[in-house]
Structure 1
Amino acid sequence: MKNFAVSLLAACSAVVRAGVSHGEVRPRVIPAVQLSADAGKHPSGDMPTKQVLVTYRSPLEFSLKVPEGWARRETLRSVEFADKYNRISVVVTSRTRPLTLDDVKLHEVQEVLQSGDDVHVSRVKVIWLPSGIAFVVTYASGSAGSPVINKAIHFENARYLFSKNGKLATLTLSAPSGTDNAGHWQIMAESFGWH
């Protein structure tokens, strides 16, 4: 078992080096592999109970609490934070009229359904947050097999839509199914604010 673990770590290191040497724009995050009876399952995506959240202030004129130490990737209209299989992304676009629940059901849900593999929307609702009204689309999705564990991974996702003064911010929180990140997700969604 020890030799297998050493070989597996060497293979993972080679994959990481290959991703860097080819100059990929999107960072590759190679998860830790647990060599136990649960090795056939995906690694847990639970955030630590005492995960420190720090305020990220974006040049796109919003702020949001995010987990300290996660990898960050920015573009001209978006930012993504990632750790293992967990993802937090915000995309800011222009919008000439206020967002409505009907808009979300007609357009945003269709965008979600086309965003990946095996997507199933479970709920669309309106909520009040400190920054004002937000629309939330909750959905499940799948992925292609991971090169490390050679198994498809299923995700739980929550997409929050905030609109104000001609801008639409789409905050998407994703984690492997079965993780318990609801408390952290709520803190992050409540922390969103325009500035």
Structure 2
Amino acid sequence: MDKSFISCNHKLFWAAVLIAILTIMSGCQSSKTQTLPNVSLQKSAPAAPVKAQNAEKPLPPETHPFGDIPDSQTFVKYNSADGRYSIKVPEGWSRTVKGGSAVFVDKFDGVNIDITAAAVPPTVKSVQSGAAADLERHGRAVTIDKVLAVKLPGGSSVEVDFSSNSASDPVTGRQVRLENKRYYFFRNGKEVALTLWAPQGADNVDQWKTIAESFGWNL
């Protein structure tokens, strides 16, 4: 066989191999530089805080309401331990005093006077967004009925009417649904929250009026 023919075929073979290799390399390079889809990877926004819900459910009102303060009940004047205010409370009720604050209780009825420092007088709006909202979040199945401005002998006040569950009786464990009235008074950097409560359905309109209207500052 002609040597020149063999040499020519040999050269053609290696040329074909070289072309094939270059073609493969070109394809690999193309696959490496292929543009990926434009996917935006964003951090998920943190979940909005969930409003705390009180797990306690409202109790039904008593079928036979009790807790009326008798019409014959005697009221006595109480002067706070810090000397800042005075108020009439039912005689004979158990008393707990802590600083300028005091609590008077008879079974499921009660009167609480809580005095704290405050920078400005309360308003309907500030109580709605502050104290009343806190009551609903943290109280015992609290339902706010109304918030309104009232004028009493002890001065301008914000009244909050609400219902709630009572604490459990320490002996029987019984709970009842309560109706409550709270009055916020302010003077000279001090705020008093006067709270009255009784089993829902009890008739204490006149007695509560006597207590609320007897509050007065000694400042």
Report TM bin, short chain.
Answer: 0.7 to 0.9
Distance 1:166 1:155, change over 3 A: same
Q: What is the CA deviation profile of residues 148-190 of structure 1, one whole-angstrom value per residue up to 9, with x for unaligned ones?
A: 6664310000010000110000000010011001111011101
Task: Name the SS of the counterpart of 2:115 in structure 1.
Answer: strand
In structure 2, the CA distance between the partners of 1:164 and 1:157, relative to structure 1 (3 Å rule), is same
Q: Which runs of 5+ in 2 are unaligned?
A: 1-61
Aligned counterpart in structure 1 of residue 159 of structure 2, from 129, 136, 139: 136
| Residue matched to 1:104 | 127
Residues 72-98 of structure 1: CA deviation (Å, up to 9, x unaligned): 001124100000110100000011122
**TM-score for both structures, normalised by structure 2:** 0.66
Q: Does 1:76 align with 2:99?
A: yes
- For residues 36-77 of structure 1, the C-alpha deviation after alignment (integer angstroms, 9 at most, x for no partner) is xxxx96772111111001110112311001001110001124
**TM-score if structure 1 supplies the norm length?**
0.74
Q: Which moved more, 1:178-187 or 1:93-102?
A: 93-102
Instruction: Give the whole-Å Cα distance in 1 for the aligned partners of 2:166 and 2:149.
Output: 28
Change (3 A) 1:43 1:182: closer
Distance 1:144 1:187, change over 3 A: closer
**8 Å Cα contact 1:42-1:153 kept in structure 2:** no
- Larger strand proportion, structure 1 or 2? 1
Alignment of 1:22-33 (within 5 A): none
Match of 2:77 among 48, 52, 55: 55
Q: Extract unaligned runs of 5+ from structure 1.
A: 1-39
Structure of higher CA gyration radius: 2
Given that residues 146 and 153 in structure 1 are in contact (C-alpha distance below 8 angstroms), is that contact kept between their aligned partners in structure 2?
no
3-state SS, counterpart of residue 117 of structure 1: coil
- 2:65–2:201 CA contact under 8 A, matched in 1: no
- Greater shift in the superposed pair: 185-194 or 104-113: 104-113
Structure 1's 187 and 151: CA in aligned 2 closer, same or farther, altered over 3 A? Answer: same
| Aligned equivalents of 2:130, 2:201: Cα separation in 1 | 28
Question: Which residue in 2 is equivalent to 1:187?
Answer: 210
Verify: 1:120 aligned to 2:143, yes or no: yes
Which whole-Å CA distance do the structure 2 matches of 1:42 and 1:117 have between them? 22
CA distance in 1, matches of 2:154, 2:198: 24
Identity of aligned residues (%): 38
CA deviations over 1:102-136 (Å, ceiling 9, x no partner): 11111010222134221100010111111110110
